[in-house]
Amino acid sequence: MIPTPALAYQTRCIVADGGVMITASHNPSEYNGFKIFNSNGESLEDSTILVTDKPAKNKLKQEYMLGRVRGGEPEGYTKRLSSIQFKKKWRVVLDAGNGGTGILAPEIYRATVGNVTAINSYPDGNFPGRGSEPTRDSISTLSKIVGEMKADIGIAFDGDGDRLYVVDEKGSCPLQDRILGSYLSFLARESKGPFIVPIDTSMAVDEALQGTGAKLIRGPVGDAKLLAEMKKESASFAGEPSGAWIHGEYHPCPDGMLSGLLYLRQIEQQGSSVSRAVEAIPEYYVVRKSLSVSNDVSRLDPKLLSEGLEKIVGKNSTTDSTYGLRVSSEDSWVLVRESGTEPVLRVTAESKRPSVAGRIVKDTLALISRVLKGRI
């Protein structure tokens, strides 16, 4: 078993015609699907197909020639990541969440950063250690161990290893938008971008780049869509608050293990720590919720929703329907969009005050329910 980024990298490394990963990514195992990569290791948009037990409608055509199957380790990928060097030894705690990084991540990090403690490293598709998606609640064990061991950093990965979640040396779980903002502030000292982030990213990222001259572009949510935006804008980096970061210099697939190494190397180069890097980033309050909608989303009247959101956000608000429906005021915003991987609506709100962000999400969820039930 190997993580998704390793397969994507190896697809290009061995000059294969394409690659296919069977994975539910950060989702529960019942959402297993095929993630398809082209010969360059690039994820194809909308290529994750839900696997069901229903028979195929059409018979598969007979193959025109026999292929070959061979096993092996992702040597090219392991060698590339192991070449990232550090000047000192760091104390790192890794949480693979019983996912695809459990075997490779400890090996690679021991070869690069030195002192590594690994938890939930045995691959198990039932994810007994924690949920497949690392969240503040699900990685409480990692946070506790980092604090008790006085480690320099804790890094959790999702089920297939294309996302990371960073815990600081105190065992605290910063808003990952601020982790992303701190990394971008480091990159901006070396490059003016452009850097790509999705539309649901915190305003803290914008402020992190103020005065640097770096260009920030907001695009759609989803790594395949962000990759397309990267290519369009000739960008070398794109990152989501979810921890899916793409480093074009290395390869075009989001990669949690690679991102953790490069983030820690920036911390080393700046002579900083994770907590100090995060403290330099403005603090906003982001609330993210999901609402199961099944097939009801087709009954969600965009005009009624837009008008309702404008009332919720307040005066002088502006509306952007480019990627979902986002309504913004000077210091707050709310975004409603369909998930690309689950039958749910994602609702994200941000404000300088936690009570305001919470109220906006609560009122938005109630608004969606009323619109769906035809009570508006």
What confidence tens digit (pLDDT) does each residue in 308-351 have?
A: 999 999 888 999 999 999 999 988 999 999 887 677 899 999 99
Of the listed ranges 48-52, 169-173, 248-252, 255-259, the least confidently predicted one is 48-52
Kindly state whether residues 83 and 199 are assigned to the same domain.
yes
Kindly state whether residues 141 and 198 are assigned to the same domain.
yes
Kindly state whether residues 318 and 354 are assigned to the same domain.
yes
pLDDT of residue 327: 96
**Average pLDDT value for the chain:** 90
Kindly state whether residues 263 and 289 are assigned to the same domain.
no
Q: Are 163 and 253 in contact (CB under 8 A)?
A: no
Q: Which of 233, 249, 279 is the last residue of a domain?
A: 279
Kindly state whether residues 213 and 85 are assigned to the same domain.
yes
DSSP 8-state symbol, 96: -
pLDDT of residue 47: 47
Kindly state whether residues 247 and 343 are assigned to the same domain.
no
Q: Is the pLDDT reported for residue 51 higher than 80?
A: no
Kindly state whether residues 325 and 186 are assigned to the same domain.
no
Which tokens in the block code for residue 118? 């690994």
Query: 25 catalytic, yes or no?
Result: yes
Kindly state whether residues 170 and 245 are assigned to the same domain.
yes
Query: What domain range includes position 349?
Result: 285-372
Q: Are 282 and 207 in contact (CB under 8 A)?
A: yes
pLDDT of residue 9: 96
pTM value is: 0.87
Task: Name 22's Cβ contacts closer than 8 Å, sequence gap at least 6.
Answer: 32, 33, 34, 35, 51
Is 343 within a domain? yes
Identified catalytic residue from 25, 43, 138, 185? 25
Q: What is the CATH number of the domain that holds 197?
A: 3.40.120.10
Instruction: Identify the residue with better confidence: 194 or 369.
Output: 194
Kindly state whether residues 85 and 182 are assigned to the same domain.
yes
Kindly state whether residues 261 and 324 are assigned to the same domain.
no
Q: Which of 279, 300, 318 is the last residue of a domain?
A: 279
| Greatest mean pLDDT range, 31-35, 94-98, 129-133, 222-226 | 94-98
Kindly state whether residues 187 and 205 are assigned to the same domain.
yes
Is 25 within a domain? no
The C-alpha angle with vertex 53 and arms to 50 and 58, in degrees rounded to 5, equals 85
**Domains held by the chain: number:** 2
